[in-house]
Amino acid sequence: MSSDEAKKLSHAATADAGPVITQKSLNDDVLRMISKPGRLWWIIFIIDLMILAVGLIAERNQILYGIGVAGHTRPVMWASYVANFVFWVGIAHCGTLVSAILFLFRSHFRRAVYRVAEAMTVFGVLTAGLFPLLHTGRPWFAYWLFPYPNQRQLWPNFRSPLEWDVFAVTTYLTVSSIFFLVGIIPDAAVARDRTNNRWLKLIYTVFSMGWTGSNNQWKNFYGAYLYFAALATPLVLSVHSVVSWDFAMSQVPGWHSTIFAPYFVAGAIFSGVAMVINLLIPIRKAFKLEHIVTVDHIEKLSKLVLLTSSIVGYSYLCEFFSAWYGPSKVERDLFWWRATGHFAWAFWIMFTCNVIIPLSLWFKPVRRNMGLLFVLCLSFNVGMYFERFVIIVTSLAHPFNPSTWDVNYRMSWTEGAILAGSFAWFFMFFLIFVRLLPAFSIAEIKETLTAPMRRKPS
Amino acid sequence: MTDSVVFKRRDFLKLVGLGAVGAAGCAPPADKLIPYLVPPQDILPGIGYWYASTCRECPVGCGILVKSRDGRAIKIEGNPAHPVNRGGLCARGHAGLQGLYDPDRVTGPMMKTAGAWKPVSWDEALQTATAKLTEARSAGKSVALVTENATGSFHKLSAAWAAAAGGTHLVYEPFNTHALREANRRTFGVGAVPNYDFARANMVISFGADFLETWGNPVGQARGFSEMRARPESYFVTVEPRLSNTGANADEWVAAKPGGEMALALGMAHVILSEGLGGGNGGMIDAVRDWTPEAVELQTEVPAATVRRLAQKFANAKPGLAVAGGIASQSEHAVAMIAAVNLLNHVAGNVGETVRFDRTLDFDSVASLGDLQTLAGQMADGSVGALVVHGANPVYAAPAWTGFAAAMDKVPFKISLSGVLDETTEHCDLILPSLHALESLGDAATARGVFSIIQPTMQPLPMFKTKAAGDTLIALARGAGFGSFPSTWSEYLKGEWRGMHGRFGGGKDFGGFWDQTLAQGGVWEDVTGTSPGWSGTPVFAAPELRGSGDLALVLYPSPNLFDGRGANKGWLQEIPDPTTKAVWGSWAEIHPDTAKKLGIAMGDAIKVETESGSVSVPAFVWAGVRPDVVAVPLGQGHTSYGRFAKDRGVNAVALLAPVQDAASGAVAYFGERAKVSKTAAAGELVRTQRERSQHDREIAAVIPVSALLGLNTGRGATEGPHATGEHGAGAPGAHGGAAAGEHAGGHHVMAGSLMLHPLQSKPGKYTEPRIKDPNAKVPPHSVSAAEQPVIVRSPRQIPVDRGNYGTATHRWAMAIDLNSCTGCTACVAACYAENNIPIVGPEHIKRGREMSWIRIERFEENLKPGPNDVRFVPMMCQHCSDAPCETVCPVYATYHNPEGLNAQVYNRCVGTRYCSNNCPYKVRAFNFFDYSAPEKPSFAFPEPLNWQLNPDVTVRSKGVMEKCTMCIQRILEGKGTAKDEGRAVRDGDITTACAQSCPTQAIVFGDLIDPESNVSKLSHGERRYWVLNELNTKPGVTYLKKIQREVAST
């Protein structure tokens, strides 16, 4: 890394752009976030809970009356719930990518953003994990998917991709939670030492796990962090690959494709990074942390978005190419119909948002314009939601047997409420997180600070 | 293997204690048990008993067997011994059960006071009724009795009753055969509905007769038709302006101009006579002199060359068969048109061959429209003092201009014996509800030489206080003091049958004869018909279309609802119409060109207007109607008649102008022009199948006659080791080996090439056919007729013969002959009845949530007049040996059972619906709501419909997937019976509900391991194929390709 780049990425170098960050001011700035919540926070939080309540009412109806209150039809037996699941798993991808893979690659710009990304991961998985449960016809029996010992000697079907999902998602949740909790230990200790509130102190004591900052602890901490980063890295690839196999392992035209695993992973990173940008921009604004999460950091992230968007775009074209080139007429029919048929509007929203709009990120002014970037990233996530919708709904609506073709799927209000509820559920955790735990890694950002009275950063 | 589960004594005791606690805690005490302390004679709880009876859902009277379980009738099947239907049964017949358990049946006698129905006691009701009858009679007024075409003893009783009461007995049937009988009387001197022998005919030409749907004896005719279609050289031409479901089965569709049928028949007769191809005399050629093929072309738009070709083919068929019926025979010149067809049959020499007057259908006493109008006139002028109605519904079915409904209001007192609140009953003052046919004793003599018995298959339902209609009539007569009748209906009936005893008793005493008659469902004798000569040529005239408008109006009876009497049955509303696949409503069919001109798209609300009235319905746009025709089905649009029928669709009878056939007096259902325009609102068009083309995917396959015949000779030439290898091998699993061996040997070219599908992947390194060891034992569950050639997807593929299923000895499978399937949907109704399938209503069908386990897919390859190619595929779970649904279920709720069935364990199902997504046939139905919980709004079996539920089949709860089980309950019953009798299961012991019901026996069920079984032979026959075989699912259902005849281009 050239020294220029190093300068850009270090917080010290941005001193002229904002106030000088010192060890003290960093502690103050980050821990200021977890002070007593203000009125705005409460308003947002209460609105959030109200949306969540609507979602819960919808879910209650669904359990009481049956899954029919959602818009599922024959042949479209999966629709928005599975799309939500894939969407949230995708969102959950960015955290581990930023914290683990970029950590292993020593991309230091991650230091300012990884805690938010990791929190997003954990909460994203928590949200995603709801959907396999609530999309089933009998969610009260969903535990049958777990291989628990039982008197009837019944065992789940390990050949089913849904069964793989169970393991992939639970593994990912476990590892990403541990990774999140490990990384937060030194920061929780800072918060613990500063707070006067008994209850908060108790919470931070738990989170800091008896951290004293001894050399031995630092040694173990870094060791553990590296170890978990190495463990989490393959999961980034595996989880979404497994999720993609829910589709690719079936023989439904439009699903049965070998490109699905890399295609889904790229899409997941694309949407996840866009979501991180969407979260960071308001946070740095609201908490006045522009000097900690700098425009340079955000720009780095948006380059990642650009990269993954081009992989996603390549995958789209590749799918069409193989449908055209391949021997299967059924596949060819489906892809033609996808782009021109009843759901073509969804396809073109997807294509525009995920392939065409991201091309604007080639331009530096766009990447550095926070307001514009925020809007663009929103559109990327809309596009990625539509990608799942298009993959699931159009493929199912146009299967092998033409007599069963139908375009009768309409999203019901129940599904809409549950989708909104899932966002509320995610933001509920996130809102609590920014007020309760250090949202930026004090310990790691300090590594980039110039040591007191020194000229160069470490 | 040693027993791994060894209980220690202590563990055992612990578990026993736990079990006892669990049992006490879990099971709520049953509210009611069946108190069989004193068991009813001959009834064992849990065992189904079959009672022979007669179907009364239409005037034909098919023989039925009714299954009664624990005192409840739960299933109707055709009686294989009965001469009318020979074992098949149509959808309407199956739905008779829903009439019996109709939740809107009248629960007891009711009197209308101040416009509202009030329940009264039977004593009070009968007293009132007799007082009113006496009053009417003493005032010198007549008493009219209107019934349906009951035939048999009830008809005699009704006639005698009406005569004694001093009034008329009117037998009302909306689709009477008056014109047909009149034409036969004039041309043959025999005024009867002939027995058409479709089986013998080599060429059938139908002039509008929907003989597979509602016209004549549809089930019996369908059977004969399928026998004809099994012969590759047979040929079927349909002449009609709208392609009916019967017409859809034709090889050729001649879309003559509406009303041109007569001219075409005469033109064909002209060709036969002038070319000397058949019989006939000089007088006849004079009669048809004007109808040269060229003249016919002008009148019908059928090219002269086609007329000639058809005539020549028809004359050479020997015998052929021309039938006239349906809407074409219901115009103002109906008699002339039928006479023309009679002439055609006569000159081609078919009379006495395929048109026989032996087992004629009894429509002899059915009143004409003139009789109805006479009665309406009498009622209107006040000379009728009381009216008694039973079964018939003229207020709904007769056009308003007959004045019947209005005249009813002039009758001082009207009594209905119908058990349902239909439109006619709503016009009455008193209801004396009678038993449903399935609860009552009676008889029917619907065809000559057939005396069919109606016997109660169960105790009358306790919630309905009903009486046999015969008893009510007798009670009324005795109360009012007219006539002399035995004290009860059953005595009257037995009195009638004492006469029959002499004829059929065969030396038995009456008791023995009666029991035997009940057991077999009646008595029948062979009858010979007179072979009538040609007695007179009537004046031929073609109907002129009346009124203004561009389109000819074609009204046709709905195959499911018939004349409207099926509309209160949920099954019949929910089972899609065979042609449009629409449910729960009415529609109007128009041609795409017409629709384009008028700016109408599929499903748009349109108004069909004649000078007599108008209806607003959704449009169904398809090329199966001529561009100058609009077709509307009859049977919907009830203003009363129960929750399923009321306010659904439109009653197109309102469009009829006051026109009758001059010669016979029949209502002219055809003969009007109509205007069609877009309108604001009409009902919604709800369809179960939207895409009507198969996009070259070979779902429904055909084999050209030439290829089939070539195949046959080819096989004949190579007959020898291979043929015996395929069919003669006795050991289970020999098929796979033999078939693979054959393939490897390079023979069986045709069958091999059938496997190479355009959609199939190109062969690669690992996809070369693998030669199986001929001695390898294939376990039953993996036996499939689709065994060859085995494609090895991976070199490490686990052989299918691993596992612990080795002890099974059956592989249940089906063979479905698409050449026989007429698309009639009888199998669908049978499945609803057998498997407790709920109805869900139009709102959910719109979302594809119908629960039916079997559907008839309809693919229209060619809808232009000329060569006709419409294909039907009965589609149900294919019970694949390599089932895509099984691998994706995370909890093994769907799995493969040892006998090859793809089983669904409802209890284990979590409802991920992945199986449905991965099923290429999309035959799985999901319980989106709780259709079985009485407290839920989605409950599908309101009391007493739940009485019909088959106790052998689970009623599924919400959130679980379900699908065809190949009637596993019937398999178990058959196996149990065989075991009780200490023998092996024989081919034919077990059959599924759909296969049993099929009027054409297109579905065959059986054991694929038994090489001698019918299903094995069919599944290895030359016409076999598998739907979506390129997916390598190895289905247990083998289809036989439809035979495609060559149609000349002129």
Q: Is the pLDDT of residue B516 over 50?
A: yes
For residues A11 and A18, what is the distance between their CA atoms, to the nearest angstrom? 10
Which residue among A132, A162, A403 sits closest to B888, beta carbon to beta carbon?
A162
> Would residue A212 be called left, alpha or beta, if left means φ above 0 and alpha means ψ between -120 and 50 degrees?
alpha
Residue A363, number of CB atoms within 10 A of its CB: 10
Residues of B in Cβ contact (< 8 Å) with A401: 697, 699, 857, 875, 920-922, 1027-1028
CA nearest A133 in B: which residue?
B912
Residues of A in Cβ contact (< 8 Å) with B858: 403
The A residues from 242 to 281 touching B (CB cutoff 8 Å) are 246, 249-252
For residues B961 and B926, what is the distance between their CA atoms, to the nearest angstrom? 4
For residues B694 and B857, what is the distance between their CA atoms, to the nearest angstrom? 10
Residue B2, number of CB atoms within 10 A of its CB: 4
Of A456 and B821, the one with more pLDDT = B821
The SS3 assignment for B611 reads: coil
The answer to whether the beta carbons of residues B128 and B122 sit under 8 Å apart is no
Q: Is the pLDDT of residue B504 over 50?
A: yes
The answer to whether the beta carbons of residues B311 and B326 sit under 8 Å apart is no
A141 touches chain B (CB under 8 A): yes
Residues of A in Cβ contact (< 8 Å) with B914: 77-78, 160, 162, 246, 250
Residue segments in chain A with a per-residue pLDDT below the cut of 50: 1-3, 5-9, 12-17
Q: What is the pLDDT of residue B9?
A: 61
Q: Torsion angle of alpha carbons A380, A386, A390, A396, nearest 10°?
A: 140
Residues of B in Cβ contact (< 8 Å) with A77: 913-914, 916-917, 926
Q: What is the 3-state secondary structure (H, E, C) of B1010-1025?
A: CCCCHHHHHHCCCCEE
Which residue among A76, A162, A409 sits closest to B914, beta carbon to beta carbon?
A162
The SS3 assignment for B689 reads: coil
The answer to whether the beta carbons of residues B743 and B749 sit under 8 Å apart is no
The SS3 assignment for B4 reads: coil
Q: Which of B329-338, B383-392, B799-808 has the highest mean pLDDT?
A: B383-392
Q: A401 and B695: CB-CB below 8 Å?
A: no
Q: What is the pLDDT of residue B729?
A: 36
The A residues from 72 to 101 touching B (CB cutoff 8 Å) are 72-78
Mutate to test the interface with A, among B918, B927, B960, B1028 (most CBs of A within 10 A): B918
Q: Is the pLDDT of residue B760 over 60?
A: no
Residue B410: is it exposed, middle or buried by C-beta count within 10 angstroms (0-12/13-18/19+)?
Answer: middle
Q: Beta strand pairing status for B551-557 and B522-524?
A: unpaired
Q: A72 and B960: CB-CB below 8 Å?
A: no
The gap between the terminal CA atoms of chain B, to the nearest Å, is 74
Q: Is the pLDDT of residue B300 over 70?
A: yes
Q: What is the pLDDT of residue B6?
A: 52
How large is the average pLDDT for residues B287-296? 88
Q: A161 and B693: CB-CB below 8 Å?
A: no
Q: What is the pLDDT of residue B1004?
A: 94
Lowest mean pLDDT among A78-92, B253-267, B420-434, B779-793: B779-793
The answer to whether the beta carbons of residues A99 and A117 sit under 8 Å apart is yes
CA nearest A412 in B: which residue?
B847
Give the closest-approach CA distance of A399 to chain B in angstroms.
Answer: 7
How large is the average pLDDT for residues B731-759? 38
Q: A137 and B961: CB-CB below 8 Å?
A: yes
For residues B64 and B80, what is the distance between their CA atoms, to the nearest angstrom? 8
Give the burial string for B501-531 (b: 16+ CB within 10 Å, else e): beebbeeeeeeebbeebeebbbbbeebebee
pLDDT tens digits for range B370-397: 888 889 999 998 888 899 999 889 999 8
pLDDT tens digits for range B907-934: 999 999 999 999 999 999 999 999 988 8
Q: A141 and B1028: CB-CB below 8 Å?
A: no
Q: A66 and B927: CB-CB below 8 Å?
A: yes
If pLDDT is split at 50, 70 and 90, which confidence band does B11 have?
low
Q: Is the pLDDT of residue B949 over 50?
A: yes
Separation of CA B840 from chain center:
21
For residues B785 and B654, what is the distance between their CA atoms, to the nearest angstrom? 54
Residues of A in Cβ contact (< 8 Å) with B924: 74
Which residue among B697, B908, B910 sits closest to A402, beta carbon to beta carbon?
B697
- One DSSP character per residue, B81-117 reads T-TTTTT---HHHHTHHHHHT-TTB--S-EEEETTEE
Which residue among B695, B921, B928 sits closest to A72, beta carbon to beta carbon?
B928
Residues of A in Cβ contact (< 8 Å) with B913: 72, 77-78, 137
Q: B930 and A66: CB-CB below 8 Å?
A: yes
Backbone torsions φ then ψ of A203, nearest 5 degrees? -60, -50
Residues of B in Cβ contact (< 8 Å) with A136: 910-912, 959
* Paired strand residues for B703: B1043
pLDDT tens digits for range A254-305: 999 999 999 999 999 999 899 989 988 998 888 888 888 888 889 988 999 9
A3 touches chain B (CB under 8 A): no
Q: Between chain A and chain B, how many beta carbons pairs sit less than 8 Å apart?
A: 184
If pLDDT is split at 50, 70 and 90, which confidence band does B366 have?
confident
The answer to whether the beta carbons of residues B1011 and B734 sit under 8 Å apart is yes
Which residue among A162, A402, A406 sits closest to B695, beta carbon to beta carbon?
A402
Residue B408, number of CB atoms within 10 A of its CB: 21
CA nearest B933 in A: which residue?
A65
DSSP label of B765: T
Give the closest-approach CA distance of B67 to chain A in angstroms.
Answer: 33
Give the closest-approach CA distance of B911 to chain A in angstroms.
Answer: 4
Q: B922 and A136: CB-CB below 8 Å?
A: no
Lowest mean pLDDT among B30-34, B130-134, B355-359, B971-975: B30-34
Q: What is the pLDDT of residue B390?
A: 92
- One DSSP character per residue, B936-999 reads STT---TTTGGGG--TTSPPP-TT-EE---S-HHHHHHHHHHHHHTTSPPPTTS---HHHHH-T
* B317: its two tokens: 């068929």
* Paired strand residues for B295: none
For residues A409 and B20, what is the distance between their CA atoms, to the nearest angstrom? 49
CA nearest A326 in B: which residue?
B761
% of residues, chain B, pLDDT over 70: 86
Residues of B in Cβ contact (< 8 Å) with A143: none
Mutate to test the interface with B, among A404, A409, A414, A415 (most CBs of B within 10 A): A404
Q: What is the pLDDT of residue B175?
A: 85
Mutate to test the interface with A, among B917, B961, B963, B1034 (most CBs of A within 10 A): B917
Q: What interface predicted TM-score (ipTM) does this complex get?
A: 0.91
Longest dimension (CA), chain A: 77
Q: Beta strand pairing status for B442-447 and B450-454?
A: antiparallel
If pLDDT is split at 50, 70 and 90, which confidence band does B28 have?
very low
Lowest mean pLDDT among A3-17, A233-247, B226-240, B575-589: A3-17
Residues of B in Cβ contact (< 8 Å) with A253: none
CA nearest A132 in B: which residue?
B912
Q: Cβ contacts of residue B320 below 8 Å, gap of 6+?
A: B201, B202, B203, B204, B205, B314, B345, B348, B350, B354
How large is the average pLDDT for residues B238-260? 91
Q: B857 and A135: CB-CB below 8 Å?
A: no
Which residue among B758, B911, B926 sits closest to A329, beta carbon to beta carbon?
B758
Q: Is the pLDDT of residue B764 over 50?
A: no
Q: B699 and A145: CB-CB below 8 Å?
A: no
Q: Of B897, B895, B905, B902, which Cα lies nearest the Cα of B880?
A: B902
Secondary element (H or E) of residue B73: strand B72-78
For residues B285 and B278, what is the distance between their CA atoms, to the nearest angstrom? 12
Which CA distances in Å does A240 have to A123, A390, B61, B223, B1043? 16, 17, 63, 57, 50
